[in-house]
Amino acid sequence: MAINLNQFAEDFKYLDPKDPGTWPAIPKLVALIAILAGILVAAYFLDTQGQIDELEAGKVQEAKLKEDYLNKKKQSINLDLHKQQLREIDQSFGALLKQLPNRAQMDALLVDINQAGLGRGLQFELFKPAGGEIAKEFYAELPIQVRVVGNYHDMGAFASDLGQLSRIVTLNDVTITSAKDGQLQMDATARTFRYLDDEEVAAQRKSAKAAKAPKK
């Protein structure tokens, strides 16, 4: 075995790299195997690796497309349900909007609030708008300062009557203190609302857009 190893070493010892044709058989075979191995390695890194990367990227894209497809399929299945829910929301919004008076109906609403208090035997000492209207996106809020004098039961009934009006009226910042002759005094802010007409909505949106625009 030692002789064979020595002979193997001798075959590689005196090789002429300029004339591989004169090499013994074993060095030629080893050189051929090395060349083939180099070609395979180079082919892997130059071509096969790129194809593997493309395959992995394709798998990721495939998984994403499947997920998008399933999501869209769920949306299409529930489309009728979403349409029905949208119709119900529109109907609810329309019903709420009808509870808001327009500009022409505001005076009548203020009279209704006043009559609700008088009907319960309350005495109004203050009933006036607390500043101007507060414009929102599609409606305006009108706060009204209210001060009435009466007994506790009548004040509670007055608050209940306001809640039963066909228009939306809320009582806020309520304070009750003692008054003369065993009566009570209630100070509150009554808030009522009206919807804006098309021109007012357009003006409100224009104003909001101008406020958001960067100043030059």
At 125, the pLDDT band (50, 70, 90 cuts) reads very high
- Indicate the fold that domain 100-203 takes in CATH: Alpha-Beta Plaits (3.30.70)
Neighbours of 40 (CB within 10 A): 11
Strand pairing category for 184-195 and 123-129: unpaired
The pLDDT, as a whole number, for residue 187 is: 95
Mapping DSSP onto H, E and C, the string for 91-152 reads HHHHHHHHCCCCHHHHHHHHHHHHHHHHHCCCEEEEEEECCCCEECCCEEEEEEEEEEEECH
Answer yes or no: is pLDDT of 90 > 90.
Answer: no
Higher-confidence residue of 190 and 104: namely 190
Calculate the average pLDDT of the chain. 78
Answer yes or no: is pLDDT of 146 > 90.
Answer: yes
For the ranges 63-72, 89-98, 175-184, 204-213, the lowest mean pLDDT is seen at 89-98
* 8 Å CB contact between 168 and 126: no
The pLDDT, as a whole number, for residue 126 is: 92
At 169, the pLDDT band (50, 70, 90 cuts) reads confident
Higher-confidence residue of 65 and 188: namely 188
At 145, the pLDDT band (50, 70, 90 cuts) reads very high
Nearest to 194 by CA among 124, 142, 117, 127: 142
- Furthest C-alpha separation in the chain: 134
φ and ψ at residue 152, rounded to 5 degrees:
-65, -40
The pLDDT, as a whole number, for residue 213 is: 65
The pLDDT, as a whole number, for residue 216 is: 57
Average pLDDT on 85-108 reads 71
At 1, the pLDDT band (50, 70, 90 cuts) reads very low
Average pLDDT on 74-87 reads 74
For the ranges 43-47, 123-127, 193-197, the lowest mean pLDDT is seen at 43-47
